[in-house]
Structure 1
Amino acid sequence: MRNKVNEIKISYCEKIPRKLRYKVNCSQDIAKFLYDHWDKKTIGLKETFKVVLLNNSNRVKGICEISSGGITGTIVDLRILFAVVLKSLTVGIILAHNHPSGNLKPSNSDKLLTDKIIQGAKVLDVNVLDHIILGPDGDYFSFADKGFL
Protein backbone atom coordinates (compact mmCIF):
# COMPACT_ATOMS: atom_id res chain seq x y z
CA MET A 1 0.00 0.00 0.00
CA ARG A 2 1.36 3.45 -0.95
CA ASN A 3 1.52 6.26 1.55
CA LYS A 4 -0.80 9.14 0.76
CA VAL A 5 0.56 12.62 0.40
CA ASN A 6 -1.07 16.00 -0.15
CA GLU A 7 -0.48 17.75 -3.46
CA ILE A 8 0.95 21.24 -3.23
CA LYS A 9 0.39 23.69 -6.07
CA ILE A 10 1.91 27.14 -6.36
CA SER A 11 0.31 29.66 -8.67
CA TYR A 12 0.21 33.37 -9.35
CA CYS A 13 -2.09 34.96 -11.91
CA GLU A 14 -1.28 38.37 -13.35
CA LYS A 15 -4.41 40.15 -14.58
CA ILE A 16 -3.07 43.68 -15.13
CA PRO A 17 -0.67 44.12 -18.07
CA ARG A 18 2.84 45.13 -16.99
CA LYS A 19 2.81 48.48 -18.77
CA LEU A 20 -0.40 49.50 -16.94
CA ARG A 21 0.99 48.77 -13.47
CA TYR A 22 1.88 51.64 -11.15
CA LYS A 23 5.60 52.53 -11.33
CA VAL A 24 7.40 53.47 -8.13
CA ASN A 25 9.94 56.27 -8.54
CA CYS A 26 10.38 57.59 -4.99
CA SER A 27 9.14 57.27 -1.42
CA GLN A 28 6.55 60.01 -1.94
CA ASP A 29 5.02 58.03 -4.82
CA ILE A 30 4.74 54.82 -2.85
CA ALA A 31 3.49 56.54 0.31
CA LYS A 32 0.67 58.20 -1.64
CA PHE A 33 -0.10 54.91 -3.43
CA LEU A 34 -0.22 53.04 -0.13
CA TYR A 35 -2.37 55.68 1.56
CA ASP A 36 -4.82 55.58 -1.37
CA HIS A 37 -5.10 51.79 -0.94
CA TRP A 38 -5.26 51.72 2.89
CA ASP A 39 -8.57 51.24 4.69
CA LYS A 40 -9.31 54.74 6.02
CA LYS A 41 -11.70 53.27 8.60
CA THR A 42 -8.86 51.46 10.38
CA ILE A 43 -5.67 53.43 9.61
CA GLY A 44 -6.08 55.46 12.82
CA LEU A 45 -7.45 52.55 14.83
CA LYS A 46 -5.15 49.52 14.52
CA GLU A 47 -1.72 48.68 13.15
CA THR A 48 -1.51 46.73 9.90
CA PHE A 49 1.58 45.46 8.07
CA LYS A 50 1.65 45.11 4.29
CA VAL A 51 4.17 44.32 1.60
CA VAL A 52 4.25 45.89 -1.85
CA LEU A 53 5.45 43.41 -4.46
CA LEU A 54 7.47 44.81 -7.35
CA ASN A 55 8.78 43.50 -10.64
CA ASN A 56 12.25 44.23 -12.02
CA SER A 57 11.09 47.62 -13.37
CA ASN A 58 9.72 48.71 -9.97
CA ARG A 59 6.15 48.31 -11.17
CA VAL A 60 3.66 47.16 -8.56
CA LYS A 61 2.57 43.56 -8.94
CA GLY A 62 0.31 43.80 -5.90
CA ILE A 63 -0.08 44.66 -2.24
CA CYS A 64 -0.52 41.94 0.35
CA GLU A 65 -1.64 42.43 3.94
CA ILE A 66 0.63 40.27 6.07
CA SER A 67 -0.83 41.01 9.49
CA SER A 68 -3.30 43.16 11.37
CA GLY A 69 -2.99 43.77 15.07
CA GLY A 70 -3.89 46.11 17.82
CA ILE A 71 -3.50 49.76 18.70
CA THR A 72 0.26 49.61 19.32
CA GLY A 73 1.52 46.71 17.25
CA THR A 74 1.10 43.70 15.02
CA ILE A 75 3.00 40.43 14.69
CA VAL A 76 4.69 39.79 11.33
CA ASP A 77 5.32 36.13 10.51
CA LEU A 78 8.30 36.17 8.14
CA ARG A 79 7.38 32.77 6.73
CA ILE A 80 4.09 34.19 5.47
CA LEU A 81 5.79 37.31 4.10
CA PHE A 82 8.40 35.34 2.17
CA ALA A 83 5.87 32.75 0.99
CA VAL A 84 3.96 35.60 -0.70
CA VAL A 85 7.17 37.05 -2.14
CA LEU A 86 8.28 33.71 -3.55
CA LYS A 87 4.85 32.69 -4.82
CA SER A 88 4.54 35.91 -6.81
CA LEU A 89 8.10 35.68 -8.20
CA THR A 90 8.82 39.12 -6.83
CA VAL A 91 12.28 40.70 -7.13
CA GLY A 92 11.75 43.81 -5.00
CA ILE A 93 9.59 44.65 -2.01
CA ILE A 94 8.55 47.69 -0.06
CA LEU A 95 7.48 47.09 3.52
CA ALA A 96 4.71 49.22 4.98
CA HIS A 97 2.81 49.60 8.19
CA ASN A 98 0.81 52.31 9.85
CA HIS A 99 1.14 54.01 13.22
CA PRO A 100 -2.39 54.81 14.40
CA SER A 101 -1.00 57.33 16.92
CA GLY A 102 0.39 59.49 14.11
CA ASN A 103 3.89 59.31 15.65
CA LEU A 104 5.95 58.34 12.62
CA LYS A 105 9.21 57.66 14.45
CA PRO A 106 10.18 54.00 13.98
CA SER A 107 10.34 51.96 17.17
CA ASN A 108 13.23 49.64 18.01
CA SER A 109 10.91 46.76 17.06
CA ASP A 110 10.30 48.38 13.65
CA LYS A 111 14.06 48.67 13.08
CA LEU A 112 14.79 45.10 14.21
CA LEU A 113 12.01 43.67 12.05
CA THR A 114 13.24 45.61 9.01
CA ASP A 115 16.80 44.32 9.53
CA LYS A 116 15.53 40.75 9.91
CA ILE A 117 13.52 41.00 6.69
CA ILE A 118 16.49 42.50 4.83
CA GLN A 119 18.69 39.58 5.92
CA GLY A 120 16.11 37.01 4.79
CA ALA A 121 15.55 38.82 1.51
CA LYS A 122 19.29 38.80 0.74
CA VAL A 123 19.30 35.00 0.88
CA LEU A 124 16.45 34.96 -1.66
CA ASP A 125 17.94 37.65 -3.96
CA VAL A 126 15.04 39.98 -3.22
CA ASN A 127 15.68 43.71 -2.79
CA VAL A 128 14.06 45.56 0.11
CA LEU A 129 13.70 49.04 -1.35
CA ASP A 130 12.03 50.80 1.57
CA HIS A 131 9.94 50.52 4.70
CA ILE A 132 7.19 53.12 4.88
CA ILE A 133 5.40 54.06 8.09
CA LEU A 134 2.08 55.75 7.34
CA GLY A 135 0.20 58.11 9.60
CA PRO A 136 -3.61 58.39 9.67
CA ASP A 137 -3.49 61.66 7.71
CA GLY A 138 -1.29 60.40 4.87
CA ASP A 139 2.02 61.66 6.26
CA TYR A 140 4.83 59.11 6.21
CA PHE A 141 8.33 58.10 7.29
CA SER A 142 10.67 56.43 4.78
CA PHE A 143 13.47 54.21 6.10
CA ALA A 144 15.32 54.65 2.77
CA ASP A 145 15.09 58.44 2.77
CA LYS A 146 16.41 58.61 6.34
CA GLY A 147 19.32 56.25 5.66
CA PHE A 148 17.97 53.35 7.76
CA LEU A 149 18.32 50.80 4.94
Structure 2
Amino acid sequence: MNNMPMVKDLPVAERPREKLLAKGAQSLNNAELLAILLRTGTKEDSVLHVAEKLLAQYKERGLASIVNLSPHEFSKIKGIGTVKAVTVLAAIELGRRLAEQTAELRTVIEKPRDIVDYVMPRFRYETKEYFIVMLLNTKHHVLAVHTVSIGSLSASIVHPREVFREAMYHAAAAIVLIHNHPSGDPSPSKEDICVTRKLIQTGVIMDIPVLDHIIIGDNKYVSLKEKGMIE
Protein backbone atom coordinates (compact mmCIF):
# COMPACT_ATOMS: atom_id res chain seq x y z
CA MET A 1 0.00 0.00 0.00
CA ASN A 2 1.40 3.41 -0.96
CA ASN A 3 1.90 5.71 2.02
CA MET A 4 1.84 8.93 0.03
CA PRO A 5 -1.06 11.10 1.19
CA MET A 6 -3.95 11.78 -1.11
CA VAL A 7 -4.18 15.31 -2.49
CA LYS A 8 -7.22 16.01 -0.33
CA ASP A 9 -5.11 15.24 2.73
CA LEU A 10 -2.42 17.77 1.83
CA PRO A 11 -2.45 21.29 3.28
CA VAL A 12 -4.53 23.50 1.03
CA ALA A 13 -1.50 25.56 0.02
CA GLU A 14 0.27 22.43 -1.23
CA ARG A 15 -2.55 21.11 -3.42
CA PRO A 16 -1.64 21.62 -7.10
CA ARG A 17 -4.75 23.56 -8.16
CA GLU A 18 -4.75 25.80 -5.11
CA LYS A 19 -1.01 26.32 -5.41
CA LEU A 20 -1.39 27.38 -9.04
CA LEU A 21 -4.15 29.85 -8.19
CA ALA A 22 -2.15 31.34 -5.33
CA LYS A 23 1.36 31.38 -6.80
CA GLY A 24 1.00 30.90 -10.56
CA ALA A 25 1.68 27.93 -12.85
CA GLN A 26 5.44 28.57 -12.81
CA SER A 27 5.55 27.65 -9.11
CA LEU A 28 4.47 24.04 -9.76
CA ASN A 29 6.88 21.23 -10.50
CA ASN A 30 6.35 18.86 -13.42
CA ALA A 31 4.45 16.27 -11.39
CA GLU A 32 2.08 18.89 -10.00
CA LEU A 33 1.32 20.28 -13.47
CA LEU A 34 0.65 16.77 -14.78
CA ALA A 35 -1.54 16.05 -11.76
CA ILE A 36 -3.81 18.98 -12.67
CA LEU A 37 -4.27 17.54 -16.16
CA LEU A 38 -4.85 14.00 -14.88
CA ARG A 39 -7.34 15.29 -12.26
CA THR A 40 -7.76 12.03 -10.31
CA GLY A 41 -5.64 9.15 -9.14
CA THR A 42 -6.64 5.65 -8.06
CA LYS A 43 -7.91 4.17 -4.81
CA GLU A 44 -4.32 3.30 -3.90
CA ASP A 45 -2.41 6.26 -5.36
CA SER A 46 -2.91 9.99 -5.27
CA VAL A 47 -2.97 11.78 -8.60
CA LEU A 48 0.42 13.25 -7.67
CA HIS A 49 1.86 9.78 -7.25
CA VAL A 50 0.41 8.68 -10.61
CA ALA A 51 2.05 11.71 -12.24
CA GLU A 52 5.37 10.94 -10.55
CA LYS A 53 5.24 7.32 -11.71
CA LEU A 54 4.72 8.49 -15.29
CA LEU A 55 7.73 10.79 -15.11
CA ALA A 56 9.84 8.15 -13.34
CA GLN A 57 9.15 5.53 -16.00
CA TYR A 58 10.74 7.78 -18.62
CA LYS A 59 13.28 9.49 -16.38
CA GLU A 60 16.18 8.94 -18.79
CA ARG A 61 15.07 11.93 -20.87
CA GLY A 62 12.94 13.66 -18.27
CA LEU A 63 9.80 15.57 -19.21
CA ALA A 64 10.78 15.67 -22.88
CA SER A 65 10.25 11.92 -23.13
CA ILE A 66 6.46 12.15 -22.85
CA VAL A 67 6.08 14.41 -25.89
CA ASN A 68 6.00 11.53 -28.37
CA LEU A 69 4.22 8.92 -26.25
CA SER A 70 1.09 7.39 -27.69
CA PRO A 71 -2.14 7.10 -25.68
CA HIS A 72 -1.39 3.37 -25.37
CA GLU A 73 2.01 4.06 -23.81
CA PHE A 74 0.45 6.50 -21.35
CA SER A 75 -2.06 3.85 -20.40
CA LYS A 76 0.69 1.53 -19.18
CA ILE A 77 0.66 3.61 -16.00
CA LYS A 78 -2.13 2.50 -13.67
CA GLY A 79 -4.54 5.38 -13.23
CA ILE A 80 -4.07 6.84 -16.72
CA GLY A 81 -6.72 5.82 -19.19
CA THR A 82 -7.42 6.99 -22.72
CA VAL A 83 -9.26 10.16 -21.67
CA LYS A 84 -6.42 11.29 -19.40
CA ALA A 85 -3.82 10.37 -22.02
CA VAL A 86 -5.44 12.47 -24.74
CA THR A 87 -5.86 15.37 -22.29
CA VAL A 88 -2.12 15.42 -21.60
CA LEU A 89 -1.26 15.02 -25.30
CA ALA A 90 -3.62 17.88 -26.22
CA ALA A 91 -1.97 20.13 -23.63
CA ILE A 92 1.47 19.25 -24.99
CA GLU A 93 0.42 20.05 -28.55
CA LEU A 94 -1.08 23.38 -27.49
CA GLY A 95 2.18 24.27 -25.76
CA ARG A 96 4.18 23.36 -28.83
CA ARG A 97 1.91 25.39 -31.13
CA LEU A 98 2.12 28.37 -28.80
CA ALA A 99 5.92 28.16 -28.90
CA GLU A 100 5.83 28.01 -32.70
CA GLN A 101 3.48 30.97 -32.91
CA THR A 102 5.75 32.99 -30.64
CA ALA A 103 8.70 32.21 -32.89
CA GLU A 104 6.74 33.25 -35.97
CA LEU A 105 6.35 36.77 -34.60
CA ARG A 106 10.03 37.23 -35.44
CA THR A 107 9.66 37.22 -39.18
CA VAL A 108 13.10 38.57 -40.10
CA ILE A 109 15.98 36.08 -40.13
CA GLU A 110 19.21 37.86 -39.23
CA LYS A 111 21.30 35.16 -37.58
CA PRO A 112 21.29 31.38 -36.97
CA ARG A 113 19.65 31.79 -33.57
CA ASP A 114 16.59 33.33 -35.27
CA ILE A 115 16.24 30.20 -37.39
CA VAL A 116 16.67 27.95 -34.37
CA ASP A 117 14.03 29.81 -32.36
CA TYR A 118 11.64 29.41 -35.29
CA VAL A 119 12.00 25.64 -35.74
CA MET A 120 13.24 24.25 -32.41
CA PRO A 121 9.76 23.87 -30.80
CA ARG A 122 8.59 21.80 -33.75
CA PHE A 123 11.55 19.52 -34.34
CA ARG A 124 13.55 19.02 -31.13
CA TYR A 125 11.39 16.10 -29.97
CA GLU A 126 10.77 14.39 -33.31
CA THR A 127 11.71 10.70 -33.40
CA LYS A 128 12.20 10.77 -37.17
CA GLU A 129 14.70 12.80 -39.16
CA TYR A 130 13.12 15.69 -41.06
CA PHE A 131 14.83 17.69 -43.77
CA ILE A 132 13.16 21.03 -44.34
CA VAL A 133 13.91 24.18 -46.28
CA MET A 134 13.16 27.68 -45.03
CA LEU A 135 12.33 30.08 -47.86
CA LEU A 136 13.22 33.77 -47.50
CA ASN A 137 12.47 36.89 -49.52
CA THR A 138 14.96 39.65 -50.33
CA LYS A 139 14.55 41.16 -46.84
CA HIS A 140 14.95 37.72 -45.21
CA HIS A 141 11.33 37.48 -44.12
CA VAL A 142 10.15 33.89 -43.88
CA LEU A 143 7.94 33.01 -46.82
CA ALA A 144 7.41 29.35 -45.94
CA VAL A 145 8.95 26.30 -44.30
CA HIS A 146 8.66 23.20 -46.46
CA THR A 147 9.34 19.55 -45.52
CA VAL A 148 11.46 17.99 -48.25
CA SER A 149 11.91 14.50 -46.80
CA ILE A 150 11.39 12.36 -43.72
CA GLY A 151 14.00 9.72 -42.98
CA SER A 152 17.76 9.41 -42.92
CA LEU A 153 19.50 12.26 -44.68
CA SER A 154 21.24 11.20 -47.88
CA ALA A 155 22.02 12.61 -51.28
CA SER A 156 19.58 10.17 -52.86
CA ILE A 157 16.66 11.35 -50.70
CA VAL A 158 17.39 15.09 -50.57
CA HIS A 159 17.48 15.91 -54.26
CA PRO A 160 18.15 19.50 -55.40
CA ARG A 161 15.07 19.32 -57.61
CA GLU A 162 12.78 18.90 -54.58
CA VAL A 163 14.50 21.68 -52.62
CA PHE A 164 14.57 24.32 -55.35
CA ARG A 165 11.14 23.52 -56.77
CA GLU A 166 9.61 25.04 -53.63
CA ALA A 167 12.05 27.95 -53.73
CA MET A 168 11.01 28.78 -57.28
CA TYR A 169 7.30 28.35 -56.51
CA HIS A 170 7.53 30.91 -53.68
CA ALA A 171 9.92 33.17 -55.62
CA ALA A 172 12.40 32.87 -52.76
CA ALA A 173 15.49 35.04 -52.86
CA ALA A 174 17.45 32.71 -50.55
CA ILE A 175 16.98 29.52 -48.56
CA VAL A 176 18.17 27.92 -45.34
CA LEU A 177 18.54 24.17 -44.99
CA ILE A 178 17.41 22.62 -41.71
CA HIS A 179 17.24 19.09 -40.40
CA ASN A 180 16.99 17.43 -37.01
CA HIS A 181 18.94 14.64 -35.35
CA PRO A 182 16.53 12.51 -33.27
CA SER A 183 19.48 11.37 -31.15
CA GLY A 184 19.60 14.88 -29.71
CA ASP A 185 23.20 15.38 -30.82
CA PRO A 186 23.39 18.00 -33.61
CA SER A 187 26.96 17.19 -34.64
CA PRO A 188 27.09 17.09 -38.47
CA SER A 189 27.99 13.88 -40.28
CA LYS A 190 30.02 13.59 -43.48
CA GLU A 191 26.74 12.98 -45.31
CA ASP A 192 25.27 16.18 -43.86
CA ILE A 193 28.20 18.20 -45.19
CA CYS A 194 28.16 16.42 -48.57
CA VAL A 195 24.46 17.11 -49.12
CA THR A 196 24.89 20.73 -48.03
CA ARG A 197 27.71 21.39 -50.50
CA LYS A 198 25.73 19.81 -53.31
CA LEU A 199 22.76 22.05 -52.61
CA ILE A 200 24.97 25.14 -52.30
CA GLN A 201 26.37 24.43 -55.75
CA THR A 202 22.85 24.12 -57.13
CA GLY A 203 21.90 27.38 -55.44
CA VAL A 204 24.74 29.17 -57.21
CA ILE A 205 23.49 27.91 -60.57
CA MET A 206 19.88 28.80 -59.74
CA ASP A 207 20.86 32.20 -58.28
CA ILE A 208 19.08 31.24 -55.05
CA PRO A 209 21.82 31.20 -52.41
CA VAL A 210 21.87 28.69 -49.56
CA LEU A 211 22.63 30.87 -46.53
CA ASP A 212 23.18 28.14 -43.95
CA HIS A 213 22.41 24.60 -42.87
CA ILE A 214 21.11 24.30 -39.30
CA ILE A 215 21.10 20.93 -37.55
CA ILE A 216 18.67 20.71 -34.65
CA GLY A 217 19.29 18.53 -31.59
CA ASP A 218 17.60 18.44 -28.19
CA ASN A 219 17.70 22.15 -27.33
CA LYS A 220 21.06 22.33 -29.11
CA TYR A 221 22.01 23.20 -32.65
CA VAL A 222 24.91 23.48 -35.06
CA SER A 223 25.16 26.09 -37.80
CA LEU A 224 27.45 24.81 -40.54
CA LYS A 225 28.04 28.44 -41.53
CA GLU A 226 29.13 29.41 -38.02
CA LYS A 227 31.39 26.36 -37.82
CA GLY A 228 33.09 27.29 -41.06
CA MET A 229 32.09 23.99 -42.67
CA ILE A 230 30.54 25.72 -45.67
CA GLU A 231 31.44 28.90 -47.51
TM over 0.5, shorter chain? yes
Quick one: which of 119, 134, 137 aligns to 1:34? 119
Equivalent pairs, count: 124
Residue 102 of structure 1 aligns with which residue?
184
Which residue number corresponds to residue 142 of structure 1? 223
Q: Which deviations, in whole Å up to 9, do the C-alpha atoms of 1:106-136 show, x marking residues without a partner? A: 111100000000000001111111100001x
Amino acid in the other structure paired with 1:138: N
Taking structure 2 as the reference length, the TM-score comes to 0.51
What is the CA-CA distance between 1:104 and the residue it aligns to?
1.4
Taking a change above 3 Å as real, the CA distance of residues 40 and 50 of structure 1, as seen in their structure-2 partners, is: same
1:143 Cα shift? Answer: 0.7
Question: Does structure 2 retain, via aligned residues, the 8 Å contact 1:21–1:60?
Answer: no
CA distance in 2, matches of 1:112, 1:98: 16
Aligned to 1:87: 169
Deviation at 1:80, TM superposition (A): 1.1
**Alignment partners' CA distance in 1, 2:111 and 2:124:** 23
Q: Give 1:90 shift.
A: 0.6
Counterpart contact for 1:21–1:61, Cα < 8 Å: no
C-alpha displacement at 1:34, in angstroms?
Answer: 1.1
- Structure possessing the higher relative contact order (Cα contacts under 8 Å, 6 or more residues apart): 1
Q: Does structure 1 residue 114 correspond to structure 2 residue 196?
A: yes
Equivalent position of 1:129 in the other structure: 211
Structure 2: give runs of 5+ residues left out of the alignment: 1-104
1:138, distance to aligned residue in structure 2 (A): 2.3
Contact 1:32/1:138 (CA < 8 Å) preserved in 2? no
For 2:166 and 2:106, locate their aligned partners in 1 and report how far apart those are by CA, in whole Å.
19
Secondary structure in structure 1 of the residue aligned to 2:210: strand
Cα-Cα RMSD: 1.7
TM-score (norm 1): 0.77
* Correspondent of 1:51 among 108, 133, 138: 133
Partner of 2:60: none
Higher helix share: 2
Q: Which has the larger radius of gyration?
A: 2
User: 5+ residue gaps in structure 1?
Assistant: 1-19
| Secondary structure of 1:31 counterpart | helix
- Structure with bigger strand share is 1
Calculate percent identity across the aligned residue pairs: 37
Q: Counterpart of 2:115 in structure 1: which amino acid? A: I
